[in-house]
Amino acid sequence: MPRSLRVLLVVVVAGALVGLAAGLAVSAALAVPTALSPTPASPSRPAAEVAGTTPTGTLTYRILGPDGTPVPGRLTVLSPSVDLVELGEVFTERYAVREDVCYALDGTGLLRLPAGEVEIIASRGLEWTIDRRTISVPRGGDVAIDFEITPAVDTSGLIGGDFHLHTLTHSGHGDSNMPERIVSLVGEGVELAIATDHNRNIDYRPTMASLGAADAMTAIVGNEVSTPIGHFNAWPFDADRPPVESRIPSGVPLFRMIRMQPNPLGLDPVIQVNHPRWNGIDYFSQADLDETTGTSDSPRWSPDFDAIEVLNENNLWGWFEPEDAPPLATNDNTHSAMLDWYALLDTGHRAIATGNSDSHSVKKNFAGVPRNYLVSSTDDPAAIDPAEILDAIRRGEVMVTSGPIVRASVREPGRHDDPRMATARSGRVTLDVEVQAAPWIDCDRIRVVRDGEIVAERAIDATRDRVRFNDAIEVPIEHDSWIVVLVDGDEPLDPIVSGKARPVLPVAIVNPFRIDADGDGHWMPPMDRVATSARAIAPDAVEAAWRDADASERRRMIAATRRADVANAIAPATRTRLIELGLADDASGHRLVRLAACRAVGVADGDDDLADNLIAVLDDETASPRTVGAAIRALAPIDADRLGDRLPELVDRHGIGLLRDLGESGLAAIAGPRPEAWLVTGPFDRVDDLVGFASSFDDATMPPPANRDGGGDEPGGWETKRVRPNGLLSFKELSTEVDGTTDAIGVATGWLISPRAMTVPVLFGSDDGAVVRVNGETMLEDRTTHGASPFGRLLRIPVQAGANRVVVAVENGTGDFGFHFRPVHREVTLETSITP
């Protein structure tokens, strides 16, 4: 498939810009900026106008810090619409410029702008004020402006870091080269940067040194290990060693190999699960993590990671639950990563929530939002101790934010070796919470989440003072629990952070405290507690226990019945009644309860009796897509015929994502195994009439026409080809020439074997266009250009009893070349040959 990446190349030419000695403010409370070097030389003035373009003038600017000296920062032209490069200015590598954004490492420079009124904003990340000006640019003349910004919050004892960063230079996509990445990070006030290009061990420090920015921040060598089962950031690594093998399809050996990587710091590398529910590169889906239990039975699964990226990119993907977000976009995330995080905390996993920009670009998705604030013994960005940072991550001394700066602690925590553990007193704990924010950032509420449920909420006064909230919050505690503090606001962060697909809101997450309710010095995870109590629930006590439980506790009650130690001890009637109550629980906010109940069906004898309950879930138009998907999976082995009748209508109602979200194991449960092989031939030259070309292969006895390479290996020009592990039948290997499959057609054939006449749902996706024919009839004609998704579309294919000839012809432009084809019926298979 052709995939174009439009890369903006800024030509670096001789000459430099006017400036003063630049400074860099650190995150200490109202710290004084220190000087960066070298200072840029004076530039030559540009011509007043460029022939045939908009009349222009020039702006000479300085971004001044609190002591009146320049600081690194960013200028954003709000209006009119401009492209600063196309206006004719030339920038050195001490600048990072895209369209209407200019980062200046020295805080000084010169911009060519349209003549007339221009609105500009100066900024330096989350911790600083902004300066918004409307200026008059004289035609053919010059205007000089000093923008003034200051540190707006006290972050002493905290270091702000971005743990997910890329460059075009080393990742091969996006638009930020290495100098631009450093300039933009310093311009956003990021103090700790982890270099995480795809499958590369990259060191920012040589580039920082060449720019004279070695004291501006601390950089650590990392790698986004991009594998078939997901993407994982890990650090520190050795830039001089080969990167970790990235083709490993299982978490156990992959994480073990990462932990074994030697590095100059002598530290055990941190492993962060990136965008864990971003479809296609989502470890939690690839490894079948169940967000209702916090566990997985997949051989791909390993819990040996340290952190979960719950907020990804400027848009904060992973924060919103898709079903709660309309009309807000949630990208390709199947659900909020927060749900997975909560479920893992229930099991006792010490996963730390992080948030990172995942920036590949200068402007489109820029560095530093969201970011992580970690406890540090230094406020000097050049003196950060990586060992101390890794310890802070593993302890959980991390606050994640897109704006608010939140400090929280438990008053009178008691004596514990774990700094995040506290003892409850008189059935409660007292949280001391302070919320700060820059004046341009909105904060509206604080929510305290205990074991997955909001148990306290405090409104924040509508002020833009530095300190928005500083008070105690009482939290009731009945048993050992975990507590997370959330802060958010309703006003978007525009124009400093403008979302690509939705407004970006202020959000902050304080990683969990673990509360020892009885003071015995031992913390019991919620799932262990519920599993212990579930064994003792008599069948006649189920309803009472259910009424007394909140939604998260009900989910855990059902999830506990799936544990072997509980299943072997609990009364079968108790288990069945819990599932029945869960399947019928359609209260607002209880979607995870129904989801847990659907997933609990099928693990014990007697579940056949729950078919009617599952059908009721499928027929409930208010049921969430994930719940419907789980009900489909549970019903498949119980009543495949009733499921088959409803499946196309359910996909029409909920979309193809209904099947995608099942994961491989869920899809295998309802569809059976993928096809293993096809007969293939080609490549052929592209034709105008693809349907007519495909129809020439309908007769199984007719050999295909001669192809570019003279035919296949078997009589008639066909050869048997196995599908890849991900289910793709690839045509790339049909030619040994470099461009042999460019502008070409590949053809595959096989037979659908059905026990009776029926309409079979088939998942299909191709790269690029395709024609699908069955028994001489065209089921699909698509001449568009796209990638091959296993969930491209759902075809409804009528078949007769016995063998049904299938012909698939795929036309390729450039790049990848192939298709996915999977019957979604447990009794229908695809074979490469049949016995006459």
Of 78-92, 431-445, 766-780, the range with the lowest mean pLDDT is 78-92
**What is the distance between the alpha carbons of residues 274 and 279, in angstroms, rounded to a whole number?**
12
Exposure of 690 in the CB half-sphere (CA atoms within 13 A): 24
pLDDT band (50, 70, 90) for residue 643 = confident
pLDDT tier at 599, thresholds 50, 70, 90: very high
Is the omega angle on the peptide bond into residue 790 within 30 degrees of 0, that is, cis? no
The single residue listed with the structure tokens 């008189």 is: 426
Kindly tell me if the per-residue pLDDT of 10 is higher than 50. Answer: no
- 631: its two tokens: 């009900």
> Hey, what are 438's tokens?
């820059």
The pLDDT value recorded for residue 668 is 82
In this prediction, residue 558 carries a pLDDT of 96
Q: What is the pLDDT of residue 16?
A: 31
User: Which residues contact residue 206 at a Cβ distance below 8 angstroms, ignoring those fewer than 6 apart?
Assistant: none
Q: Mean pLDDT across the chain, nearest whole number?
A: 89
Alpha helices in 396-550 (DSSP H): 526-534, 542-547
The mean pLDDT of 446-466, rounded to a whole number, is 97
CA 747 to chain CA centroid, nearest Å? 36
Q: Smallest Cα–Cα separation from 629: which of 607, 601, 657, 609?
A: 657
CA distance 621 to 661: 18
Q: Which helix (H) or strand (E) holds 387?
A: helix 386-395
Residue in 273, 283, 126 with CA at minimum distance from that of residue 189: 126
How would you classify the pairing of strands 719-722 and 802-812? unpaired
Token duo for residue 209: 């040194």
The highest-level CATH class for domain 672-831 is mainly beta
Compute the average pLDDT of residues 236-264.
96
> Which amino acid would we find at residue 670?
I
Q: How many CA atoms lie within 13 A of 697 on its CB side?
A: 31
- DSSP secondary structure letters along 134-161: EEEEPTTSEEEEEEE--B-S--TTEEEE
The yes-or-no verdict on residue 565 having pLDDT over 80 is: yes
pLDDT greater than 80 at residue 387: yes
DSSP of 736-781: -STTTTTTEEEEEEEEEEESSSEEEEEEEEEESEEEEEETTEEEEE
| Kind plus residue range of the DSSP H or E element containing 57 | strand 56-64
pLDDT at 703: 61
* Whether pLDDT at 184 is above 80: yes
The answer to whether the peptide bond before residue 236 is cis (omega within 30 degrees of 0) is: yes
pLDDT attached to residue 48:
39
Query: Quick one: how far is CA 518 from the chain centroid?
Result: 38
Phi and psi torsions of 193, nearest 5°: -125, 130
Residue 328 pLDDT: 62
Token output for 783: 């001449």
* Of residues 679, 703, 801, the one with CA closest to residue 752: 801
- Give dist(CA 104, CA 695) in Å, integer: 61
What letter would DSSP give residue 623? S
- Which CATH architecture describes the domain 22-148? Sandwich (2.60)
Write 83-86 long-range contacts (CB < 8 A, 24+).
84/111, 84/112, 85/8, 85/10
- What confidence score (pLDDT) does residue 116 get? 97
What sections of 548-624 are H helices per DSSP? 551-560, 564-567, 572-584, 591-600, 611-619
For 615, residues 6+ apart whose C-beta sits below 8 A from its C-beta are 635, 639, 642
Residue 44, pLDDT score? 36
> Can you read off the two tokens belonging to residue 126?
């989350």
Q: Are 98 and 8 a contacting pair, CB within 8 Å?
A: yes
One-letter amino acid for residue 557 of the chain: M
Q: What is the mean pLDDT of residues 642-647?
A: 81
Could you give the CA distance from residue 198 to residue 201 in angstroms, rounded to a whole number?
9
Q: Cα(511)–Cα(66) distance, rounded to whole angstroms?
A: 32
Indicate if the alpha-carbon torsion angle 440, 444, 450, 453 is positive or negative: negative
d(CA 592, CA 179): 46
> Which of the pair, 317 or 332, is modelled with greater confidence?
317
Give me 51's structure tokens.
């022939």
Please state which of the ranges 291-305, 416-430, 597-611 shows the lowest mean pLDDT: 597-611
Picking from 33-47, 71-85, 103-117, 141-155, which range would have the lowest pLDDT averaged per residue?
A: 33-47
**Whole-angstrom Cα distance, residue 194 to residue 220?**
5
Half-sphere exposure of residue 162: CA atoms within 13 angstroms, side-chain side: 32
Q: Using alpha carbons, select from 412, 469, 422, 417 the residue that is nearest to residue 450.
A: 422
> pLDDT per residue over 33-58, tens digit each?
333 433 333 333 443 344 346 899 99
301 neighbors 288 (Cβ within 8 angstroms):
yes
CA–CA gap between residue 3 and residue 636 (Å, rounded): 38
* Domain 161-401 sits in CATH 3.20.20.140: yes
* pLDDT more than 90, % of the chain: 73
Question: How far is CA 208 from its chain centroid?
Answer: 28
- Token output for 464: 């833009």
Provide the 10 A C-beta neighbour count for residue 641. Answer: 9
Residue-wise pLDDT for 480-513, tens only, equals 999 999 999 999 999 999 877 788 999 999 999 9
- Token duo for residue 120: 């500009």
Helices (H), 1-51: none
For 719-767, the pLDDT digits (tens) are 999 999 888 999 998 888 878 899 999 999 999 999 999 999 999 999 9
Give 317's DSSP letter. B
Q: Where is average pLDDT lowest: 14-18, 81-85, 422-426, 738-742?
A: 14-18
pLDDT of residue 335: 84
Write down the pTM of the prediction.
Answer: 0.84
pLDDT (0 to 100) of residue 602: 78
Alpha helices in 232-350 (DSSP H): 251-259, 283-286, 337-347
Which residues are registered as beta bridge partners of 355?
Answer: 311
**Assigned superfamily of 403-524:** Immunoglobulins (2.60.40.10)
CA angle 640, 646, 650 (to 5 degrees): 125
Q: Which residues pair with 766 in a beta bridge?
A: 819
In the structure, what pLDDT confidence band is assigned to residue 20 with cuts at 50, 70 and 90?
very low
* Nearest C-alpha neighbor of 440 from the set 413, 417, 468: 468
Tell me: pLDDT of 5 over 50.
no
Rounded average pLDDT over 403-424: 92
**What integer is the mean pLDDT of 553-560?**
96
Task: Please say whether the beta carbons of 800 and 775 come within 8 A.
Answer: yes
Query: What residues contact 544, with CB distance under 8 A and at least 6 apart?
Result: none
Closest to 87 (Cα-Cα) out of 44, 121, 57: 57
Write down the pLDDT at residue 707: 65
The pLDDT, as a whole number, for residue 711 is: 47
pLDDT at 225: 97
Q: For 143-157, 671-685, 763-777, which range has the lowest pLDDT when averaged over its residues?
A: 671-685
Who's near 536: CB < 8 A, 6+ residues apart? Answer: none
The residues facing 24 across adjacent strands are: 34
Indicate whether 699 pLDDT > 90: no
Cβ atoms 271, 315 nearer than 8 A: no
**In angstroms, how far is CA 600 from the centroid of its own chain?**
27
Q: Which pLDDT score is estimated for 279? A: 77
The rounded distance, in Å, linking the Cα atoms of 290 and 322 is 17
* Closest among 478, 463, 465, 576 to 524, alpha carbons compared: 478
Interatomic CA distance for residues 807 and 772, integer angstroms? 6
pLDDT bucket at 9, cuts 50 / 70 / 90: very low
Please enumerate in sequence order all residues whose Cβ is within 8 A of that of 440, keeping only pairs 6 or more positions apart, or say none.
Answer: 129, 130, 464, 493, 496
d(CA 831, CA 671) in angstroms, rounded, equals 15
Three-state DSSP at 249 gives: coil
Q: Which residues pair with 422 in a beta bridge?
A: 515
Burial category of 49 from C-beta neighbours within 10 Å (exposed 0-12, middle 13-18, buried 19 and up)? middle
For residue 705, name the pLDDT band (cuts at 50, 70, 90).
low
Amino acid at 88: G
